[in-house]
Amino acid sequence: MTQVFDINAVVGGLLRDLAFAQTLQPKMFGYKRAAAAVLALDTPLTELIAAEGALPKIAGIGPGSARVIQEALETGESATVERAIDASGNRADIERRRTLRVNFLSRAAVLRVLRDPSIAEPTLTDYGGDLQMHSEWSDGSPTVEEIARACEARGYAYAAITDHSYGLKIAGGMSMQEAADQRQAINRANGGANAFRLLQGIEANIGADGQLDLTPDEACTFEVVLAAPHSRLRRAEDQTERLIIAVHNPAVRILAHPRGRITGSRAGVVADWRRVFATAAGFGVAIEIDGDPARQDLDYVLARSALAAGCLFALDSDAHATDQLAYAETAIAHARLAGIPADRIVNYWPLDRLLNWLADPQSEIPGSKQETPCQ
């Protein structure tokens, strides 16, 4: 089983601890920025220091953060951070946050896993395209056209724009009229001579009862329906039924960011994942690995049990800006660590196989009970 030692994640975590031990807001934000800077580095701190003989200048890293880095490199922990936590009276909350950042990868660790020659697949070069991205039609910033060209520039054969559906008002969910207008924009983006194909998807919201915020007829107007939880993500009670009802929905093809966890902040949905994965496997519903660095949901450890259950996977960026398309690489790194063969990942299929599965999961899961509601 592949183990990950990730010095930048260790240091990033300590700097976040230090941020939550501050009483003055500017200092708190300063250490949060320092943590983000370390987590976004392409190179492990150990290599940076070995190459230069000392910690090089890094934007966002001041003397206080540099001391934490030095201590972490020498001992794996930081006496400075521990003293600050004790002085803050905030230890219980900070310890809770520590438990909520397991199996998160720094950018440097993602790049190392992508280059690791001992892992054959899935590769970055064979990735066919991203199936979760947000545009100006909900809470993203880019236009449809900008997304299409950015995906093409990354060498994708296809991709799906998956703005939020109308039930998620807080994320600017699209009305069905807006979705029809967006379809025109997608058709225009597909109008050129190039082979790249943009699909119109939707990220439907899973309600407390497991139902989606789309009627079956509405769901049928989209080429790919993702279902994702966005509420009740900080509760201790079991929500297995909620997710199983969503997976049963005949329109759903991808269960997106299945837990809804956020690094160092919330654990997300508590569920019997073996039951959720077994149901998804039987219905031909793909389990997403969401590559947003703050989500990483599923992570490689939980993804291994989804693989053992026989699930299909989708590896997506969840980008809300075109420079976030690289978040797909985080998802690919988790899939490599989980040992998922490319053939089990829908983003690695040629377009015709992907479209066949979207139209009818029984093309991949013979005998699956999923009806095909959209004819």
From the list 154-162, 228-236, 293-301, 342-350, the region that binds Zn ion by CB under 5 A is 228-236
Q: Which residue has the tokens 């807006």?
A: 178
| Residue 35 vs 131, nearer CB to Zn ion | 131
Q: Which amino acid is at 138?
A: S
What's the min distance (Å) between Cβ of 330 and Zn ion?
15
228 in contact with Zn ion (CB under 5 A): yes
Query: Applying CB under 5 A, what is the total number of residues that bind Zn ion?
Result: 1
165 with 134: CB under 8 angstroms? no
Complete DSSP assignment for 9-42: HHHHHHHHHHHHT-SSHHHHHHHHHHHHHHHH-S
What's the min distance (Å) between Cβ of 164 and Zn ion?
7
Complete DSSP assignment for 267-290: ---B--HHHHHHHHHHHTPEEEEE
| Residue 152 vs 292, nearer CB to Zn ion | 292
| Residue 110 vs 171, nearer CB to Zn ion | 171
Q: Which amino acid is at 16?
A: R
From the list 82-90, 184-192, 225-233, 278-286, the region that binds Zn ion by CB under 5 A is 225-233
| Residue 94 vs 252, nearer CB to Zn ion | 252
- For residue 215, give both structure tokens: 């009627």
What's the min distance (Å) between Cβ of 167 and Zn ion?
12
Q: Which amino acid is at 329?
A: E
243 in contact with Zn ion (CB under 5 A): no
From the list 135-143, 221-229, 262-270, 306-314, the region that binds Zn ion by CB under 5 A is 221-229
What's the min distance (Å) between Cβ of 5 and Zn ion?
30
| Residue 226 vs 335, nearer CB to Zn ion | 226
Cβ-proximal residues to 331 (8 Å cutoff; 6+ apart), any chain: 288, 289, 290, 291, 315, 316, 317
From the list 145-153, 214-222, 226-234, 346-354, the region that binds Zn ion by CB under 5 A is 226-234
Rounded CA Rg of the chain: 21
| Phi, psi (rounded to 5 degrees) for 358 | -60, -40
Q: Burial-class residue 120 by CB neighbours within 10 Å (0-12, 13-18, 19+).
A: exposed
| Residue 152 vs 290, nearer CB to Zn ion | 290
189 in contact with Zn ion (CB under 5 A): no
254 in contact with Zn ion (CB under 5 A): no
What are the Cα distances from residue 208, in Å, to 245, 248, 250, 281? 10, 15, 18, 23
| Residue 68 vs 224, nearer CB to Zn ion | 224
What's the min distance (Å) between Cβ of 3 and Zn ion?
30
What's the min distance (Å) between Cβ of 205 and Zn ion?
8
| Residue 258 vs 264, nearer CB to Zn ion | 258
Closest residue to Zn ion in the complex (CB): 228
CA–CA dist 300, 162 (Å, integer): 24
Q: Residues interacting with Zn ion, by CB under 5 A?
A: 228
